[in-house]
Amino acid sequence: MLYLPLVSLLLFLVSRATCNAANEDFLRCMSILSRGHNESLNYIYPPTSPSYSSLMQSFQQNPRWLNSTDQKPLFLITPNSESEIQASILCSRNHGLQVRVLSGGHDYEGLSYRSSTPFIVIDLINLRSISIDMKDETAWVQSGAVVGELYYSIAQKSPVHGFPAGICPSVGVGGHFSGGGFGTLVRKYGLAADQVIDANLIDVNGRILNRETMGEDLFWAIRGGGGASFGVIVSWKIKLVKVPPIVTAFSLDKKLDQGAIKIVHRWQYVANKFPEDLFIRILIQSDGESKGTKAQFQSLFLGRVNELIPLMNQSFPELGLSAQDCTEMTWIESVLYSAGYPKNHSVDVLLSRTDQYHSFFKGKSDFVKEPIPESGLEGIWERFLEEEIRLMIMDPFGGRMNDISESELPFPHRKGNLYNTQYLAKWVVDNDTATIKHVNWIRNLYEYMRPFVSNSPRAAYLNYKDLDLGINQEGNTSYAQAKVWGIKYFKGNFDRLIRVKTKSDPTNFFRNEQSIPILPS
């Protein structure tokens, strides 16, 4: 029986030699295609590189996946140019590798940097330039930038311009825009994707396409349908929006004994009907220390305090807002305020690209079309009454969102939705027991919410990616598999996305566990 270990050793050595040869072939291909550009290949990091581990850790905003049993990327590639991306795509195709594309690392399920099949990661961190043209109020922003860098750059050019993207400054532009993207300006200007007017995309054949050359169908698909299904989107041209020189913000906590449930209940009837200049969202949260669950009302008003208080007294007196609760500031200061930074913090922090709430987490989402009754809200509170870090975020729609058709972009969650909800379970201990406990908690909350949220389909938001909704095993193209989650994210737009995918990427090269499938041949 001694020959068995020897056979195993020989098989291992052959496998490793085969793998090494394949890796060398990939690098040789990259060297040939990069000739005249960057022949040193110093932007390619194999697992043997001293920088490989630190790079892997730096871009994973959810460290839950650091010790994943999935395969690690064969190479981390941090291109400095479009030509290096083109080479990466073509060499991956030639050598049977998948490509995963990373911008900010906020991918909830880690699909941008993990896979069960051999793959590379293209990390766009070096492609984050932002060019603003105030004459026509537009900007070109590369996908490797984060929204905080975009906000900062706009504010450096104008105190009366902004952009309707997300609240967390460290979210990458590439994934955020391609999934839709919303924040405090959603009721005034809609999604980030609604303001995208051009883009540069590298397709499966290595071609660089803009809006004109890619065609309106593909341009439609990448603005809310997820860019990872269609190619590598290098840059976006966006339309800037107007903001007043002074805005007003407040953050007001209400606990159970202060009537929190009744106030949240009332918010559901008014938040989507406010004038579009007023955005008030709710964070129901337990802090993991005091077992105290509170509802925090966070607001941005595009106007002055003396305009806001009469409006609140008339439309939402239950909150009991006073002028003393409010702070006037510039729009860029409101970006910091909404992100949770202390008052008078330097706006330079927006350039740091760091996430101040780094933790292990699992997220899920819903859309609510009818107010949840008080008894239903009481059930939510009961599920938060434990010494853990729990969060439920309720972002109001209405306003501009009511004016845009469901089919205008792949993101269909427009008129008729009172608000979006995001559920988050966070934890600090990294072990299987803790993970199972917290994931089970959020799944139980999600099941509890079933009677109170949208149905047929029960909708979800692509940027809060959730593999519980269903997956394509090994990236297969089964429509039946994909439809399970596809209609939740895209509703009636899913079939059009499949047609666009089939035309633009007929071999299904750009794929992951929740990518748009192609039509069967």
Which two three-digit tokens encode residue 337? Answer: 């305020």
The Cα 490–Cα 387 span in angstroms is 36
Q: Report yes or no: 371 and 421 within 8 Å, Cβ to Cβ.
A: no
Q: What does the pLDDT average to over 65-73?
A: 76
* Domains parsed from the chain with CATH numbers: 29-125 (3.30.43.10), 130-242 (3.30.465.10), 247-329+360-464 (3.40.462.20)
The Cα 39–Cα 25 span in angstroms is 15
pLDDT of residue 11: 41
- Of the spans 24-38, 352-366, 501-515, which averages the highest pLDDT? 501-515
What pairs with residue 385 in β-bridges? none
Sheet of strand 44-45, all strands in order from the earlier edge strand to the far edge: 44-45, 75-77, 119-123, 98-102
- How confident is the model over 316-363, as pLDDT tens digits? 999 999 999 999 999 999 999 999 998 889 999 999 887 767 788 999
What pairs with residue 288 in β-bridges? none
pLDDT of residue 385: 82
Q: What does the pLDDT average to over 249-269?
A: 97
Residue 163's pLDDT band, with cuts at 50, 70 and 90, is very high
As a whole-number percent, the residues of the chain with pLDDT over 90 amount to 78
Residues whose CB falls within 8 Å of the CB of residue 430, separated by 6 or more in sequence, listed in order: 63, 64, 67, 360
Residue 7's pLDDT band, with cuts at 50, 70 and 90, is very low
Helices and strands, number each (H, E), in the chain: 15, 18
Q: What is the mean pLDDT of the chain?
A: 91
Residue 38's pLDDT band, with cuts at 50, 70 and 90, is low
User: Higher pLDDT residue, 26 or 5?
Assistant: 26
Say which range, 26-35, 42-51, 471-480, has the weakest mean pLDDT.
Answer: 471-480
User: Higher pLDDT residue, 356 or 447?
Assistant: 447
**Which among 98, 109, 86, 124 is positioned nearest to 208, based on CA atoms?**
86
Q: Is the dihedral of CA 362, 512, 211, 33 positive or negative?
A: positive
The Cα 239–Cα 197 span in angstroms is 7
Say which range, 200-209, 225-234, 382-391, 491-500, has the weakest mean pLDDT.
Answer: 382-391
CA count, 13 A, side-chain hemisphere, 199:
29
Indicate whether this model's pTM tops 0.85: yes
pLDDT of residue 387: 64
Residue 136's pLDDT band, with cuts at 50, 70 and 90, is very high
As a whole-number percent, the residues of the chain with pLDDT over 70 amount to 92
Q: Quote the Cα angle for 391-392-398, to 5°.
A: 150
Sheet of strand 389-396, all strands in order from the earlier edge strand to the far edge: 326-329, 247-255, 293-301, 278-287, 389-396, 419-427, 360-368
DSSP state of 220: H
b/e for 109-142, b at 16 or more Cβ within 10 A?
A: bbbbbbbeebbbbbbbbebbebebeeeeebbbbb
